[in-house]
Structures are given as structure tokens and as C-alpha cells.
């Protein structure tokens, strides 16, 4: 869940090629699944539950615009975690960002429903999506965009070699707030951000 009690600063994180990717398995009672047509409603529900969207209809509109035009790609790149009842309760996507010059793999829209947070699902889904990206795109540089409101997730990303990016821009996404983001993160946890 986003922590809106801290100042909001958006920033980028980068995982360099050949960075070891630790393996975290799912706890008992959970399983991974890939997107199937119709799962966009579950995606919208998950993302809205963590306050990334105000309304599920907005999240659904975003999914339809951003992901559905890519057909088969979304079916092999959008990952869910399901509970024992088959309910989708977490998601992320092994996506990409393209400019005129190149496409770069990115971890996109990571979310775990609030009632399932703290069970190790975030580590497991980042572990799985990182491995999927290596398999789909090769072990190159990967990035993600995040914000200080997601500081708990930032600690998870760091376990997988993602660090606050020093680049001012990655694949068209601006990273103008690096120093500001580091100051907020350090104030929250007193940990070292590179």
C-alpha cells in the first residue's frame, strides 16, 4: 500500500546486467499464473487496492490502452499470484519502454493487495518477474519507475540489485528527482541508497 504520509517524489531504479537475482519462493497456498483474457478486471482490482488508481474503471481503462493492444505479449509477460481459492491477489508485468533508438525491459506495475502484504509475496513476485525478464529479454539492464510512497517496495527492489538510478533519463522516463528521493528514503529508513 502506498504510504502517503511521506513526501511524494518519483524516481527510477536500475538493475545492471549480470546482477545476481536471488530466488524467493512463494509461501504454501499460493501459486503464480500468467494473464489470460478477462484477467484485466483482477489486475484493475489489485492496482486499485494499493491506491495506484482511484477507481477500478480507471485502472481497467489503463490496462486496455497500455497492455491489450499487445495481445500475445501480455499473455507471457503479465504475472499474477493467486491464493488457494484461485483469487488473483498480486501482479506485475515484464514490460518494456521503447524510444526511437531502443527498447529497454522494465518491471511495470508491482502490487500486492494490502491484506496479503507482509507474507513474502512481494519478494517472490519480484524474484519470478526478474527471472522471466532474463529468460524473455536476456540478462541486460532492467529498470522500474517508483516513488517514495512505495518505500517498502523499494527495499524489496534493492534485494534484487535495483538501485536508485544516477541517469537523468532512462528510455524516455525522466529521473530529475534522484537527490530529493534519496533524502526522503534516507529519512524514512536511515539506509544507504546509492
How many percent of the chain have pLDDT more than 90?
81
* Residue 2, in any domain of the structure: no
What does the pLDDT look like over 62-89, one tens digit per residue?
Answer: 999 999 999 899 999 999 999 999 999 9
Q: Which domain holds residue 68?
A: 10-189
More confident residue, 170 or 93: 93
Q: Distance (Å, rounded) from C-alpha 117 to C-alpha 166?
A: 29
* Residue 49, in any domain of the structure: yes
* Residue 68, in any domain of the structure: yes
CATH code where residue 147 lies = 3.40.630.30
The answer to whether 51 touches 147, Cβ cutoff 8 Å, is no
Mean pLDDT for the chain?
Answer: 92
* Residue 3, in any domain of the structure: no
In our burial notation (b when 16+ CB lie closer than 10 A, e otherwise), range 105-142 reads bbbbbbbbbeebbebbbbbbbbbbbbebbbeebebebb
What does the pLDDT look like over 131-151, one tens digit per residue?
Answer: 999 999 999 999 999 999 999
The total of structural domains in the chain comes to 1
3-state helix, strand, coil in the chain (%, to 5): 40, 25, 35
Amino acid at each position: 500500500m502506498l504510504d502517503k504520509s511521506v513526501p511524494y517524489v518519483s524516481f527510477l531504479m536500475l538493475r545492471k546486467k549480470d546482477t545476481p537475482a536471488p530466488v524467493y519462493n512463494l509461501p504454501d497456498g499460493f501459486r503464480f499464473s500468467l494473464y489470460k483474457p478477462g484477467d484485466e478486471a483482477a489486475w484493475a482490482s489489485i492496482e486499485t487496492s494499493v491506491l495506484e488508481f482511484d477507481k477500478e474503471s480507471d485502472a481497467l481503462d489503463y490496462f486496455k490502452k497500455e497492455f491489450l493492444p499487445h495481445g500475445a505479449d501480455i499473455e507471457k509477460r503479465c504475472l499474477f499470484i493467486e491464493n488457494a481459492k484461485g483469487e488473483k491477489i498480486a501482479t506485475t508485468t515484464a514490460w518494456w519502454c521503447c524510444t526511437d533508438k531502443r527498447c529497454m525491459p522494465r518491471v511495470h506495475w508491482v502490487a500486492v493487495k494490502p491484506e496479503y502484504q507482509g507474507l513474502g509475496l512481494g519478494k517472490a513476485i519480484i524474484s519470478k518477474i526478474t527471472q522471466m525478464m532474463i529468460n524473455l529479454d536476456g540478462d541486460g539492464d532492467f529498470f522500474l519507475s517508483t516513488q517514495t510512497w512505495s518505500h517498502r517496495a523499494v527495499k524489496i527492489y534493492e534485494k534484487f540489485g535495483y538501485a536508485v538510478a544516477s541517469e537523468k533519463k532512462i528510455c524516455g522516463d525522466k529521473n530529475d528527482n534522484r537527490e530529493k528521493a534519496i533524502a526522503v528514503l534516507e529519512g524514512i529508513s536511515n539506509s544507504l541508497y546509492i
